[in-house]
Chain A
């Protein structure tokens, strides 16, 4: 690890001011950033911890939805969102291991946008809104490919607003080593229609499977997917599975998620 400054402000404004320095980075749970720094793959000049900012923490059920603070740990979501949005809570409860869940946060996960991470699928399938220090970003325009988002330099995710679907389910098929999603699918059924978001599979990161959404919006049964298929092209092919395998998993998991809804 290279040397760096560390600050732990109490407000978002202080954090933004601290982030103005060149090569400063926000630090949330540190479950992604700290390992990268230990490997000397990332060398921020200053870390601005968000964990001292109370306004960024908590699970707040509100009208038609639930708002989760950007620095809320996965374990807190797993516990406190269980009554309002059980599928989201279950997803958070299946991330990593207890240590990761007690440190890692939703804001960190979304800002990082790992192509195999769980939260991006929930955010996209729910049609959630990402709230930052300066604006609100719709899920559909937030994710812009592997490890890439719409966030500007120094922009902080302060909260995520989730509408609550009538029914939803996340199925994560674990990569055998990392136990991130080799492929994961969130199916969310709203009055206006069904949304299906897929993580772990595509070289472009999390995506919506629109054919399935249309079919399931017509008939919310696994059988509705018969005849549909996801092209293997553009799917991740690596040690743990070919693109064809991942494409196949998308369909299997979508069907099973519908079944479980």
Chain B
């Protein structure tokens, strides 16, 4: 095996620049004559805008121009990339999402006016001089109240605050109702999946530029998918054709989903730069991030699990209210539906499943995908209700799961919720995790905790997720307005070095290290000979970007396909040079050999010939060695795994400490085990954050109460224990060339229920049983639950 090929824990080459402060982020880019924009953002949640007086502000020092909605009359709204069809077969209600607030303010943080000035401080000064004439309206915050007849409407032109009521699988509804009515046992649970703010380390930044000489626009932005932004903004908002628009997303300091979407600020700076013939820059403050980055989760759910007398799951019924916020963010409608309902089978053979999802407009920041997107919400309700069922029935939660697992010999397995799992071995991950976590030895640890005055609990969850998003023809039927293939161009240089231009985007995932490992492995050269280029629409093929744990499964597969083309062509060249048929050429460890002979050529000999084609089959193939492939997956991939968490609860204060966390994941084949381990640990850190700490909360007037780190609790190093990560269980994906499944979101998906189950377990063992505590399980909430 070549050094640093597939399976090697190669250190991340990009970390040298990241860890020494030499990354090049969007905010590091400054252009000559650059102006700055400060956005005047709404500080009320709901109001009619009767007037915006900018006269005084416009005359202030340094002010170049002040924009309001009126300036955007000829500009489109921010488009939504997914149309969900409701239970009646009608399209969802889709309000306009203006770049600047039009007529009404619909959430705190919405942009009301934009001041462009020579310096940022001048822009801020001028913004304070803008006079708004607002008529306050009652805020719509609570989702259930928003759905009641006569409720104040977020959008006057819609029939109600209900975006859609989605039923899935509608044909199963009556059978599910009947199975629940006839069940030997039904476990019911009402829960909240807490609203979160993604909080990537780098806040969003957008810098618009306009080149007069060729009438082209460039947007530098903190995006996970620059091509998607180019398409959405160019075609739907600003009307700039793609050949006149370049979008660059350089180093991006974390995304977690929140940098997928097309935001008003991006459209604004691109538009303003062209209007003013001057670059315009915006850098979000952390305070702005809280009220303008799309939020995540925010579901209120009732779930019912029916079991027969032998504890077999017979049906699952769910009702979920999903907060959309004030407008539909780019992929918002898909999150509680197709990324959520399709996962409700989990790892189980439950034959009948029905969910009704009601997506609701409220006067809050738009909600969209956040690490896991829909799948954490599905996993949480399922793994909590299964756990509750086990407690009610007095059986071991691990064994109730095992009994209901889809068995290893049942794959491919078609679930009742429209997906077909290709591979998996759930008992293997369960048993591995039970062993690593020393499940059997828990009693002794609990006793030791008790001696120290602490209540110890153990909780597990067994998750499945759908990654490698997604087969384009399938998602098209489900309402996606985009294809979800990925692309790669592999360019081999004359002296043998390789540049891969990928449509995937790395914003912390380590693609610059792991992608070269694949190409190097295929050719048998050192990974240092391969470089990745990404993030710039000017020099990468049209790609769909990075989210949904799709990069290695879809982007990596495109890269494999392009590399296969390279190898096929190189063999032809080598065959010609070695005077053999290309079918007889073998490529191994970077050498082309005529099978069964000692005649061979080095990789570099052949690549040089491709560009210096003196001895070359010019009558059969073109010179050069560069190939592009687009890969559209045949199915989703289905990583799965078991997570076990142990906690100690302080009975005096309710404080929960995570003592240990064990993960056994099945990601199929693995390219770089170290990176996989880091992805899992990071995801679990975020999951612990959701379970114990993070909560984005509005008051009844629509003011964000947790609008800074003073009140929004991020997990810190001391909140996360050492996490044991195992990925020895590998059932390779059957439909992509690498056999990979993706690992980016698993940690965030599987961990919250494990943590909550552990706390519930601790309280039950201490003789203070509670049915459920809503996340985050803050000390105050746990204490209140224990003492209720």
Contacts and interface: CB of A to CB of B under 8 A. Distances in A.
Interface of A: 1, 39-40, 173, 176-178, 182, 239-242, 245, 248-249, 252, 256
B121 A241 contact: no
Interface string B533-562: 000000000000000000000000000000
Interface in B666-725: 692-693, 695, 697, 705-706, 709-714
Contacts of A178: 709-711
B784 A242 contact: yes
Given A1-B121, A177-B713, A239 B287 contact: no
Contacts of B784: 242, 245
A242 B779 CA distance: 11
17 contacts: A173-B653, A176-B692, A176-B778, A176-B779, A177-B713, A178-B709, A178-B711, A182-B779, A239-B705, A239-B706, A240-B778, A241-B779, A241-B780, A242-B784, A245-B783, A249-B653, A252-B653
Given A177-B712, A178-B709, A245-B780, 13 more contacts: A1-B121, A173-B653, A176-B713, A176-B778, A176-B779, A178-B711, A240-B711, A240-B780, A241-B778, A245-B779, A252-B652, A252-B653, A256-B652
Nearest to B719: A176
Contacts, number: 48
A178 B713 CA distance: 7
B507 interface: no
A176 B652 contact: no
Given A239-B711, A249-B653, A177 B706 contact: yes
A137 to B, nearest CB: 29
Contacts of B705: 239
A40 B124 contact: yes
Given A239-B705, A252-B653, A39 B287 contact: yes
B120 to A, nearest CB: 10
Give the interface centre of A1, A252, A256 by most chain B CB atoms within 10 Å.
A252
A242 B121 contact: no
Contacts of A241: 778-780
A62 to B, nearest CB: 37
Contacts of B783: 245, 248
Given A176-B693, A177-B711, A177-B712, A242 B780 contact: yes
Contacts of A252: 652-653
Contacts of B779: 173, 176, 182, 241, 245
B780 A177 contact: no
B621 to A, nearest CB: 61
User: Nearest 3 A-B pairs (CB), nearest first?
Assistant: A241-B780, A177-B713, A176-B713
Contacts of A245: 654, 779-780, 783-784
A177 B710 contact: yes
Nearest to B780: A241
B30 to A, nearest CB: 20
Contacts of B287: 39
Nearest to A39: B287
Contacts of A240: 711, 778, 780
Contacts of B692: 176
A39 B287 CA distance: 9
Contacts of A249: 653
A245 B705 CA distance: 19
A39 B710 CA distance: 14
A237 to B, nearest CB: 10
Contacts of A176: 692-693, 713, 776, 778-779
Contacts of B654: 245
Interface string B116-138: 00000100100010000000000
A249 B706 CA distance: 23
A253 to B, nearest CB: 8
Contact of B709 (A40, A177, A242, A256): A177
Contacts of B710: 177-178
Nearest to B787: A248
Contacts of A242: 780, 784
